[in-house]
Amino acid sequence: MPAARRRPLPIEIDAAAGPFPLGMPPARFLREYWQKRPLLIRNAFPGYVAPLEPEDLAGLACEEGVLARLIQHDRARDGWRVRHGPFAEDDFPGLPDHDWTLLVQDMDKWDADLRALLDHFAFLPRWRIDDVMVSFAATGGSVGAHVDQYDVFLLQARGHRRWQIDAGPNPPLDFRPDVELKLLQRFTPTHDWVLAPGDMLYLPPGVPHHGIAEDPCLTFSVGMRAPAAAELLGDYVDTLAAEAPDDLRYADPDLAPPADPWEIDRAALRRAVAALQALRMRDPEQLADWFAGFITRYRNAMEPAGDGVVPTPETLAAALATGARLARHPWSRMAWRRAARDARLYAGGQVLAMGVRDAARLAAADTLDGADWQRLGARGRAAVCALLGAGHYRVDHAPA
């Protein structure tokens, strides 16, 4: 008998009755949906209450160093206006009650409650998660039909937003030439949903989508780090060039008299390729160090900055013993990997060698107290001192 046809995977599920915000075990989600197909998850966070108000977002958008955009849509002319922060406080009261959106990047660095939201995405490598972007939209507010080249989870936090997506094969991806935003010239949705607080839409890269506020609403976007191959290559080549010895050059000890002295012949091209290949990172450890350093620096709007004063382990141990603790800088990105010997911890591109347990503990810990310090080995403690001097930690003293 012919094998039974497999039922198509659902594009919409309800997670209210289950233990997982994804509506299914994470392994199944990664196997069947991750970077393959979109999924609308009703009640991913039942009864969700946003930890911030629109006024909080507007206030932060007025601060220096905050990446914020204000996007307004003129429906009559289908025109779009984009303004970049920081904004003045009197910019917002004059806005209409419709057709505009305020977007603020990296909100997980500015708000501890939003940073805690990322704990629900522990089924993904933490170094893959870029940021939580928060958007407030007045009724009708939108950023237009567009496409992203990274995975994103869109959690409705307040109000209602209509999401339309084109999940068809080979959707048209040409951009409009008349606007600053990368908006699609043509968009034909295959699905149309209205999300309420607690609902979440997952979109893999390359799926055209359009979100429109049904009423004043907040949406939290958990986006992934997905550097383009050109970005990887550019940083890789820069690293190679910086470390290349000056005596590594194009060479032609096998040179023979040319038939035409003006011709670049095939032998010359082979020598050029050989010179480039000599620069390649042949050591897997060197290549791993480069990538880990790159990904912990990638797309950082700000970098931790310390005073350069590195305390001794004894001095720091004494402070922690009196009740002080270390809090990681919100802009510090850490990851670790197993190396040929022990492990490596990476913090904003900085590389620190230590044991596996220490590397895993430090990469995962937002805070360190005296008990955490006692569990670290000598190299782990030395690394903490170095990271404190570089600004990756700050000391929170116990109240007197």
Beta-carbon neighbour count of residue 267 at 10 Å? 13
Distance CA 330, CA 214 (A): 33
Question: The domain 313-396 is classified under which CATH number: 3.90.1300.10, 3.40.50.720, 3.40.366.30, 3.30.420.40?
Answer: 3.40.366.30
pLDDT band with cut points at 50, 70 and 90 for residue 364 = very high
Query: Tell me, what's the pLDDT at 303?
Result: 86
How confident is the model over 144-156, as a mean pLDDT? 97
Query: Tell me, what's the pLDDT at 5?
Result: 63
| Amino acid (one-letter) located at 229 | A
pLDDT band with cut points at 50, 70 and 90 for residue 135 = very high
- 400 pLDDT more than 80: no
Q: What is the domain partition of the chain in residue ranges?
A: 12-224, 229-282, 313-396
Query: Tell me, what's the pLDDT at 1?
Result: 43
**Structural tokens at position 277:** 């290949």
Q: What is the DSSP string of 159-198?
A: S-EEEEE--SSS---PBPTTSSS--BS----SEEEEE-TT
Express each pLDDT in 232-277 by its tens digit: 999 999 999 888 888 889 999 999 999 999 999 999 999 999 998 8
Contacts of 280 (CB under 8 A, 6+ apart): 240
CATH class of 12-224: mainly beta
- 296 pLDDT more than 80: yes
> Helix or strand or coil: residue 371?
helix
∠ CA 343-378-313, rounded to 5°: 130
Express each pLDDT in 153-209 by its tens digit: 999 999 999 999 999 999 999 999 999 999 999 999 999 999 999 999 999 999 999
| Torsion angles phi and psi, residue 127, rounded to 5 | -70, -15
- The structure's pTM equals 0.92
Query: Tell me, what's the pLDDT at 155?
Result: 98
How confident is the model over 364-371, as a mean pLDDT? 95
- 4 pLDDT more than 80: no
Query: Tell me, what's the pLDDT at 244?
Result: 87
Beta-carbon neighbour count of residue 187 at 10 Å? 18
> Helix or strand or coil: residue 335?
strand
